Structure formats: structure tokens, C-alpha cells
Amino acid sequence: MTAVLETRGLGKRYRRRWALSDCTLDVPSGRVVGLVGPNGAGKTTLLHMATGLLRPTTGTIHVLGAPPPATPAQLDQVGFVAQDTPTYAGLNVADHLRLGAHLNRNWDARLASDRIERLGLDRAQRAGKLSGGQRAQLALTLAIAKRPELLILDEPVASLDPLARREFLQSLMEAVADQELSVVLSSHLVADLERVCDYLIVLVASKVQVAGDVDRLLATHHLLTGARRHPVTLPEGQQVISASHTDKQTTLIMRTDGPIHDPAWTVSAVGLEDLVLAYMSRNAPGPRPALEVQR
Amino acid sequence: MIEFHLDARSGVAPYLQLIHQVRQALRLGVLAEGDQMPTVKDVVGRLAINPNTVLKAYRELEYEGLVAARPGIGTFVTGTLGDGSPAALRPLRQELRRWLTKARRTGLDDESIEALFVDTFRSAKPDEPEEDIA
């Protein structure tokens, strides 16, 4: 099976700043891939290189087996919805469908029309007058109706309210169930992606921190609590992702392929959100304010 | 037809939650042999979850012999779990209700009742001679 996305030492520099560096990934096809990281981590840069909008500074990238944008055939196979699901404010819904039909060689007019029907969108309505949720659904319709093999979505739900967010993910998952579609979507919130993605890439400060199958990640990461131990020494093959200490207790999030035998630790499962946060805080630049409620 | 729901905070993997709900529905007689299961598209359209999660749950249920996929038609219930018939459950449920009323009258709150039930349930091994079944 070809990887939908394969990168080797991929990097992108804007003037003096590296937006992405040393990025090596092998994303299998048929997956819904969550690309998670704080704002400014390099998510958009990676996605733009995958669509061919940006050229790499170093390394290589292959999308569906070829470096993008290789051929018109490859462009046919990749659907892209840019950040904030842009549409043409002055064009109405029907215009958007006509545009899609003219710009895409494998356009599925029936699918587009059915989706617009189901969503209850008025064809004569200008996109500028649609709600955020409706605009996102229109953009998704255009991307799906071109019948891509790979669909790339940059922060598609970030600006949506919770209901529109749920509806958007519902229709995206329906499309995945219906067509054989691989999806890469980014978000700065894990919670948005937790239910939909089965493959996760955590990107922090322009570097890939961890990437892999979600079930596998959950099976190989554990939360350990026990009496205070500082510094922490662990057997070979076990890696501490995050550690915190009080005067009495030590709490670790740890990665290992094998079982944990040390009886001094109480071992429990780690949720996906905690796992991602552990990787994020490991690389947080500088000290953070003690209290920051930002979700 | 069964309608699935997910508890995001339970910490239980979504596919296991789906399996559990099917097993529960079979035990309580909500699902019976021959009933059709929701399609993968229906489930993901409702819950906004990854189709592979549903497929994984259905595969597992198929492996347990509880459901079977008929290509092009859908997935159907083929097995039973316990005696899930409503007729068999009704008297038991009534008895349990009476017991609950009694427990509440004694002044136990919900949490204490649950703790008492689970504790008794665990300590009463099925092969132990049961005392005072009447």
C-alpha cells in the first residue's frame, strides 16, 4: 500500500526562521490523520507543502507516491480546504458548484447536488451571507465532490460553534465511510479530533514530537504515580515523556512497548488529550503563566 | 434498531463502548436475532466518529458470533446472550425494584446501594450454595 504522505527530513525556512524542520513521516492510506499542535507549530506549512502550494527548503515530500504538485492527475487526487474554509463571498451556492464542475476533471455533480440538498442550503444564497457552519459545509462539499483520494483540511472547525463543529465532523465522517478517502486534518485542540482520527501527528515548535496509530499510542503510553523519586531512573526501553513532582509524589507519563514491572508505581491508562499535552508541555518554549485557561 | 451513544469521559475506547452497548441490548432483549444493525455510515453520521471504529466493533461482534454481515444488505444480529427475553427479565426486574425501595427506606443513598450491590455481586460466586433463595 502506498503511503498517502511520506516525508524525509522535510524542512521549510522563512528567511531566518525554520517553520518546520527535520520532519520524517510515513502516513498510511485509508486513515483519518489528526495533525495537532499549538498555533505557529508548523501545521499549515506542512499542509501547504503537501498540496504543492509551498516548496520545501530541505528534504523530500511525497503525496500519493509523487512529490507535489507533480501532474494534473495528482492534483485531481488531492482535495484541500484551507484555513477558515474559504469561499467566494460574492458568489452564490450554485455558482460555487458550477465553479467546481469547471475546475475539476472528476467532478461528481450528483454528489455535490445531493449534499447541498441534504444540508438544506439555498442555491441562490451568496456565500458571504451563509453562517460559518454552512460556509464550512460548502467548502467541504467542493472538496469532496472532486472525488479526491486524499482530503487535506487546515483547521476546518476552529472557527465553528460546537453544534456546527459536530455537524461538520459528522458529514466528513460520512464521506469517509462512503468513499475510500484518506483524510489529514489539523487542529490546535486534540478534543476536536479525538473521536474522528485514528492516526495522530503531534507537531510542536516546528518538530514532529510523536506520530502513529492512535490505538498503538494509547497502548504504549502509561500514567505512573508513586512515591517521590527524583531523578527518575527507568529500565532500558522506557522513556519519560513528562514528569511532575510534589514533595511526596511523582507522576510520570511514560512510553514503553513492554510491561511495567516495578511495583512501586501505580500504572494507569493515559487519555489521548493527556498524551498530547505531555508531548506539548515537554517542548513548551520558556516558562508558562501558572494559570492559563485557553481552550 | 439500536442507537449508539458515546461517553467521552469514561476513558473506555469508543469501539469497546459500541460493543458493550450491543451486548447490553442483546441481554436486555432490545436486540434480537434477525434484527438489522445500523450501517457504518449511519453510526458515523450520528456520532461523528471514525468509520474504522465502527468497523472494528462490528468485526469483533462478528468474531463473537453475535452479528453477521450480509454483503450489500447490511449487518444482522445472529446470536443471543443469556435469556434476554423480556418475559424472563420482567419478574427479576420487579424483584430488584422492590429490593431498591427497601434499601432506600433503610436510608441508603444511590452510591451506597451501588456499592452494596457490586460488593455482594462480586462476593457471591455462582457455584456457591445460595442461601435463602425465596
Q: Is A214 among the domain residues?
A: no
Q: Is A212 among the domain residues?
A: no
A163 to chain B, minimum CA–CA distance in Å?
11
Whether B41 sits inside 8 A of A166 (CB atoms) is: no
Q: Which of A144, A177, A204 is the last residue of a domain?
A: A204
- CB-based contact, A177 to chain B, within 8 Å: yes
Tell me the β-bridge partners of A92.
Answer: A126
Whether B44 sits inside 8 A of A198 (CB atoms) is: no
Q: Name every chain B residue with its beta carbon within 8 A of the beta carbon of A171.
A: 45
What does the DSSP assignment read for B58-119?
Answer: HHHHHHTTSEEEETTTEEEE----SS--HHHHHHHHHHHHHHHHHHHHTT--HHHHHHHHHH
Q: Is A209 among the domain residues?
A: no
- The alpha carbons of chain B give a radius of gyration, in whole angstroms, of 18
Q: What residue ranges do the domains of chain B occupy?
A: 14-77, 86-123
Q: Name every chain B residue with its beta carbon within 8 A of the beta carbon of A32.
A: 50, 52
| Structural domain that includes position A169 | 3-204
Tell me the pLDDT of chain A (295 aa) as tens digits: 578 999 999 999 999 999 999 999 999 999 999 999 988 899 999 999 999 999 999 999 999 989 988 788 888 999 999 998 889 999 999 999 999 999 999 999 999 999 999 999 999 999 999 999 999 999 999 999 999 999 999 999 988 888 999 999 999 999 999 888 999 999 988 888 888 999 999 999 899 999 999 989 998 999 998 888 877 777 777 888 988 888 888 899 999 888 888 888 888 888 888 899 999 887 665 554 444 444 4
CB proximity under 8 Å: A 194-223 to B: 194-198, 215, 218
- Residue in chain A nearest B12 by alpha carbon: A271
CB B26 within 8 A of CB B66: yes
Q: How many CB pairs under 8 A join A and B?
A: 49
- Residue in chain A nearest B51 by alpha carbon: A177
Q: How far is it, in rounded angstroms, from Cα A290 to Cα A117?
A: 49
Query: What is the largest distance, in Å, between two alpha-carbon atoms of chain A?
Result: 67
This prediction's pTM:
0.82
CA atoms within 13 A on the CB side of B123: 6
Whether B48 sits inside 8 A of A173 (CB atoms) is: yes
Instruction: Please tell me whether residue A245 adopts helix, strand or coil conformation.
Output: strand
B8 to chain A, minimum CA–CA distance in Å?
9
> Which CATH number is B14-77 given?
1.10.10.10
Please check whether residues A164 and A237 belong to one and the same domain: no
Query: Over the range A142-156, which residues count as b (16 or more CB within 10 Å of their CB) and which as e?
Result: bbbbbbbbbbbbbbb
Spatial CA neighbour of A89 closest among A44, A139, A53: A139
Q: Name every chain A residue with its beta carbon within 8 A of the beta carbon of B47.
A: 170, 195
Please check whether residues A96 and A195 belong to one and the same domain: yes
- The ipTM assigned to this model is 0.76
Nearest to A170 among B14, B48, B52 (CB): B48
